[in-house]
Structure 1
Amino acid sequence: MLIQRLRLQAFRRFDAAEIALRPGFNLLTGDNGSGKTSVLEALHLLAHGRSFRGRVRDGLIRQGESALSAYVEWEAGARMHRAGLRHAGGSWEARLDGEDVRQLGQLCAALAVITFEPGSHALVDGSSEVRRRFLDWGLFHVEQGFMPQWRRYARALKQRNALLRQPGHPSAQLEAWEHELAQSGEQLTQLREDYVAALQPALSRLLPDLLPAAGDVVLTLHPGWRRQELALADALLLGRERDVTLGYTSQGPHRADLRVSLRDLPGREGLSRGQTKQLALALLLGQAGHLAAAQGHWPALQLDDLGSELDRHHQRRVLDVLAASGAQVLITGTEAPAGLAAGDIDVAMFHVEHGRIRGPGE
């Protein structure tokens, strides 16, 4: 995948700005608060339907404006694509390749962007929700049957939770929705387990370069209930009385978690801050490599403030891995990261200040 052009309007500090990106490495420098991270944030919004720094209504729209807009052109699989998004916080409208978009998932399916940013350590030391989102984003891009199953499960879960809170909670309706929840939940879990198994080799190949002290890694899925002992239908039935008391469904794929075991390092609670970041980056790049193998081209990769997230030695390891991949990479920093300063990697340089993006030669 090659992003060629990004245009922003009323996006954080930018009144209007445009950047023409190059293949390979693109470095955006500027002072803190200049807006360089906002460029990555715009691409992330188009590709994920959300920002990695909060909700659209929480400062993403330029002060005094009613809505932001972002437009992107990219090449994937020898085809050109164009997409535009106008977002007002509570409402949005978008177009993809000249057609109206009904669900943001259509944009997310077309444009694949993976972002490593200061909050990415949560993939290792954060809540299980972060790791479920990581798994489901990857599945969304490589498994066509995932999203219908996920929506089926989410609908059944919502209905069961509503019935649990109803006075009298009609048992016939509960049984019907539990049947639907169990069927879709078992299939959803199987898709996740297959994906984790497929992700394992990609991560194992990367770990010697990105976190050599780990030795080896084992990924396992905790499904969200005692799957080795009970079918989901039985777990829901046995847990119904407790769930009525709680007012929500306490077991199932919505409680699943990805567990990461490192052969030569302690569990996530025992990792240093640097090791946590390295492992999070390895997981993201492993996912990118798996996606590249499945689709025939790499997603765009974004690394925000690389110089402050990793030391010089580990920066170099990461840059070597990225250079070998051939992926398009966007990196931000107040200055060129030490790993890039050696000058042996071809980099397109951009500078961001006062709401403007200056490209190479400007």
Structure 2
Amino acid sequence: MIRRLVLTDVRSHADLALTPEPGFVILTGPNGAGKTNVLEAVSLLAPGRGLRRAALSEIARRNGPGGFGVAATLGDATELATGTLAAAPERRVVRFNGAAGAANTLAQWLSVLWLTPAMDRLFVEPASERRRFLDRLTLALSPGHALETTRYEAAMRARNKLLAEPAPDRDWLSALEAQMAQHGAAIAAARSETVATLSERLAQETGGDFPRAHLVLEGWAGDAAALLHALASGRGRDAAAGRTLTGPHRADLAVRHVDKQIPAAQASTGEQKALLLGIVLAHAALVGERRGQPPILLLDEVAAHLDPARRAALFDRLAGHAQVWMTGTEPALFAAIDDRATRIALG
């Protein structure tokens, strides 16, 4: 969990220091007070581009010096920091206990999951959005997943560029495809394990206030040899398309509403939100069991559109988690949470 969080020139916050306790951390205030900005800062302590997927230069405070910083002290006294310098606004800097490190290795120290209002349409969005969601779930269980994904995508970009040349170097193509096969197989295996394990856990849940979901990984699945063969035999097709048409980057996460036996995309808006919440809660419990370190949960405006009964059920389910950050415009939304919560008013 995070014991101390310091934001410097992050979005609307020139200088903000928070000392959250374990359990619920509730941020309230009017629209524009910077509540989501705080959650975004915490999300940057994990690999990737954070909950808004914003360019680094957009995170730096407008009219500020140009860079930004997010620093956190964890419960075991580990110091994590990330941000940018004014001279290089799109180059991310990461430090562990003062020493320079790589963003992909942040997952070894901290697991962070989030839900935002923009994710309410996850099941009807393009497959790429569900892949990102699945990769965050996978990363929390397999910290090395970020590095495998980064290397796969880098090799794929290089292969696509090479295929666009009139006479691409076949040996270089083979080398890039070997890299894609190695990392692609690792990505597929980690995703498959996450989906299978999470589906099994969801199937064991009975009753409750959140509908049960069943998860299936669709699209390409195979080992390194199968992917290598597919890439080598598909060069002409991929060159004509201008992109790689085979591999784990084409996978999709299919979700069904178990009780109604319908695809999640056909459920009502409220049911889709409840399905998503149920998946995240089950996954958080799974991460805690597997890693001995439950993830930090960031829930942006999660209570606003839930009825009182489901809101109370959500708080009950979250009560055992190490640290849950939630935002809302009205403190009354969180009245059912006892006094042990850290309550922070912004704006």
TM-score (norm 2): 0.87
**Match of residue 340 from structure 2:** 346
Q: Which moved more, 1:46-55 or 1:20-29?
A: 46-55
1:97 aligns with 2:97: yes
Query: How far apart in 2 are the matches of 1:208 and 1:163?
Result: 54
Q: Comparing 234-243 with 82-91, which one deviates more in the overlay?
A: 234-243
- Contact 1:71-1:83 at 8 Å conserved across structures: yes
Change beyond 3 A, Cα 1:303–1:343: closer
Q: 1:235 aligns with which of 230, 233, 240?
A: 230
Residue 5 of structure 2 aligns to a residue whose secondary structure is strand
- Correspondent of 2:278 among 268, 278, 282: 282
Q: Give the distance between the partners of 1:302 and 1:145, measured in 2 at CA.
A: 22
In structure 2, the residue corresponding to 1:309 is in which secondary structure? Answer: coil
CA contact (8 A) 1:207 1:282 kept: no
Structure 1: runs of 5 or more not aligned: 354-362
Are 1:163 and 2:166 an aligned pair? no
Counterpart among 217, 221, 229 of residue 213 in structure 2 = 217
**Residue 118 (structure 1) shift:** 0.8
Distance 1:27 1:173, change over 3 A: closer
1:270-293: per-residue Cα shift (whole Å, max 9, x none)? 111111111222222222122111
- What is the distance in 2 between the residues matched to 1:201 and 1:91? 40
Following TM superposition, by how much is the alpha carbon of 1:72 offset from its aligned partner in structure 2, in angstroms? 0.8
Q: Which residue does the alignment assign to 2:309?
A: 313
- 1:206·1:286 contact (CA, 8 Å) conserved in 2? no
CA-atom RMSD in angstroms: 2.6
Residues 296 and 323, structure 2, Cα contact 8 Å, conserved in 1: yes
1:87 aligns with 2:123: no
Task: Find the aligned partners of 1:167 and 1:183 in 2 and give their Cα distance.
Answer: 27
User: Are the aligned partners of 1:165 and 1:244 in contact in 2 as well (CA < 8 Å)?
Assistant: yes
Note the C-alpha offset of 1:175. Answer: 4.2
Question: Can you list the C-alpha shifts for 1:245-284, whole angstroms capped at 9, x where unaligned?
Answer: 1121111111111111223332133111111111222222
Are the structure 2 counterparts of residues 303 and 164 from structure 1 closer, same or farther at C-alpha, using a change threshold of 3 Å? same
How far apart are the structure 2 equivalents of 1:344 and 1:263? Answer: 33
Equivalent positions of 1:110-121 (< 5 A) are: 110-121=109-120
Distance 1:327 1:253 in 2: 33
Letter in 2 for 1:298: P
Question: 1:136 and 1:335, CA in 2 relative to 1: closer, same or farther beyond 3 A?
Answer: same
Query: Cα gap change, 1:128/1:207 in structure 2, threshold over 3 Å: closer, same or farther?
Result: farther
Which among 245, 248, 252 is matched to residue 253 of structure 1? Answer: 248
Query: Which residue of structure 2 aligns with residue 204 of structure 1?
Result: 203
Equivalent residue for 1:27?
26
Could you tell me the percent identity over the aligned residues?
Answer: 32
User: Following the alignment from structure 1 to structure 2, what is the Cα–Cα distance between the partners of residues 151 and 18?
Assistant: 32
- Could you tell me whether the CA contact under 8 Å between 2:56 and 2:92 is conserved in 1? no
Other structure's SS at 1:326 match: coil
Structure 2 match to 1:72:
72
1:206 shift after superposition: 5.5
Moved more, 2-11 or 105-114: 105-114
Q: Where does the alignment leave 5 or more consecutive residues of structure 2 unmatched?
A: none
| Preserved contact between residue 315 and residue 337 of structure 2 (Cα < 8 Å) | no
Q: Give runs of aligned pairs for residues 174-213 of structure 1, distance below 5 A.
A: 174-205=173-204, 208-212=207-211
1:51 equivalenced with 2:45 (yes/no): no
- Aligned-pair CA distance for 1:31: 1.0
Q: Distance in 2 between matches of 1:113 and 1:351?
A: 23
Residue identity opposite 1:263 in structure 2: V
Q: Quick one: which amino acid aligns to residue 348 of structure 1?
A: T
The alignment status of 1:297 with 2:298, answered yes or no, reads: no
TM-score, normalised by the number of residues in structure 1: 0.84
Distance 1:25 1:292, change over 3 A: same
8 Å Cα contact 1:125-1:276 kept in structure 2: no
Residues of 1 paired with 2:138 and 2:301: CA distance? Answer: 28
1:47–1:112 contact (8 Å) kept in structure 2: yes
What CA distance in whole angstroms lies between the structure 1 residues aligned with 2:48 and 2:186? 25
- Is the 2:105–2:143 contact (alpha carbons within 8 Å) kept by the matching residues of 1? no
C-alpha separation between the residues in 2 aligned to 1:59 and 1:186? 34
For the structure 1 residues 87 and 205, does the alpha-carbon distance in structure 2 shift closer, same or farther, using more than 3 Å as the test?
farther
Task: Output the CA distance in 2 between the equivalents of 1:4 and 1:318.
Answer: 24
Task: Give, in whole Å, the separation in 1 of the partners of 2:47 and 2:114.
Answer: 10
